[in-house]
Structure 1
Amino acid sequence: MKPVHDFKRFGHTGLCALMALACASRIADAASITIDCAREDKLVVGWTAPLALSYPGGASGDLALTSEHITFTLPAAQTLTTGVVDGTDVTATSIYGSGETSSVMPDPAALMACVENSLQPELKDDADAQALALLGCAPKVAMSTSPIAVHASVSVGLFPGNEPTVPDVNVEIRRSYRNAKTPAGDAITIETYPSNCKLAGQ
């Protein structure tokens, strides 16, 4: 291929085509993204409502999540990574946000009471046992009547799938209560893994 900076050899038509590709790339980067997940969490029993995520596009913007048990907005950033797979140029998109926000959550006092009652005395300080108890208790207690202060993080990945125009989508969500702790003083964190996530319309 002729060097791009060699305008005489590259020619006017080729240069215009290159500029068009560059513009198309910038427009694509700025395009908004909407993701629909069939189930808001595949681990918590009963959290089966759909989840919707929206991002305005561009290098940074507000990532909004909405479902029956997860509703909040978080500043996020988008990164595009290009590479070659089996001789084909591919692009992976990642969107990540982390910070303080507020979200509908299981009532923290009721949640910790349920966890305490479900653990054997010898397991009350076992982190793994507490995590399992938390998953079991989350759907059993009432949700907060208004959003609760949390530290949240969201990781979204869109990766090349079996079909060129239909990427595989992965979403991971973490929310930690800002004003509630375990009896040992540790953060109470709910990790959420939505399932069957796809770009809207696919």
Structure 2
Amino acid sequence: MHDFKRFGHTGLCALMALACASRIADAASITIDCAREDKLVVGWTAPLALSYPGGASGDLALTSEHITFTLPAAQTLTTGVVDGTDVTATSIYGSGETSSVMPDPAALMACVENSLQPELKDDADAQALALLGCAPKVAMSTSPIAVHASVSVGLFPGNEPTVPDVNVEIRRSYRNAKTPAGDAITIETYPSNCKLAGQ
């Protein structure tokens, strides 16, 4: 079976030689359990749970030790034929303003600044690596912080017909905190070992 996790709707359609169509998702609710909330940030190893009520739109809720927020989202089913087999991929996407528990922004930026050599303080890649290293070192906010968040969830045909592969990507940018250069402070999160609840 193809590795659908690398493809969005356009890429998936390109692989489907005979047919491809998007339609409104079914009404069944979806619950996803991820064994680890982020595979990049050292120390963010708690489990993550996502829930979506089903249907075309609804609130996507995420809960873990370092990630807790709710975001309006929409769900789409993409169906088609691959190698003579009918397949369906489900995508859920949400983006907007919300609030979430986050690393304290002042402490986070102080850690990043202290971690970088002077010649790297304006290097975007170096800042991103420092952010990953500093996120688990600083205290979390005592209350939810205003953020712009986006969540992308994909359920793709796997090796077993009844057990889809699940991919989750999360982005959160502080709304009221910036880098010294005025850029957004964004934490990207990639949960690992995500499965439909009960599988």
Q: How high is the TM-score relative to the length of structure 2?
A: 0.88
Cα offset, 1:125, TM superposition: 0.3
Give the secondary-structure state (helix, strand or coil) at the position aligned to 1:24.
strand
Which sections of structure 2, spanning at least 5 residues, go unmatched? none
Mark the CA change 1:117 to 1:16 in structure 2 (over 3 Å): closer, same or farther.
closer
Look at both structures and tell me which one has the larger radius of gyration over its CA atoms: 1
Mark the CA change 1:61 to 1:20 in structure 2 (over 3 Å): closer, same or farther.
farther
Between stretches 138-147 and 81-90, larger displacement belongs to 81-90
- Structure 1 residue ranges (4+ consecutive) displaced by more than 6 angstroms after TM superposition: 4-28
| Structure 2 Cα separation of the partners of residues 161 and 176 of structure 1 | 32
**1:159-178 map, 5 Å:** 159-178=156-175
Query: Does the 8 Å CA contact 2:21/2:79 hold for their aligned counterparts?
Result: no
Which sections of structure 1, spanning at least 5 residues, go unmatched? none
| Structure 1 Cα separation of the partners of residues 8 and 63 of structure 2 | 50
RMSD of equivalent CA atoms? 9.5
Cα offset, 1:82, TM superposition: 0.3
Between stretches 192-201 and 20-29, larger displacement belongs to 20-29
Cα offset, 1:86, TM superposition: 1.6
Mark the CA change 1:128 to 1:92 in structure 2 (over 3 Å): closer, same or farther.
same
Percent identity between the two aligned chains: 99
Mark the CA change 1:131 to 1:8 in structure 2 (over 3 Å): closer, same or farther.
closer
Q: Of the two structures, which has the highest relative contact order with CA contacts closer than 8 Å and spacing of 6 or more?
A: 2
Other-structure match for 1:31: 28
| Structure 1 Cα separation of the partners of residues 6 and 84 of structure 2 | 27
Please state which structure has a larger fraction of its residues in helix: 1
Q: How high is the TM-score relative to the length of structure 1?
A: 0.87
Between stretches 85-94 and 183-192, larger displacement belongs to 85-94
Find the partner of 2:92 among 72, 85, 95: 95
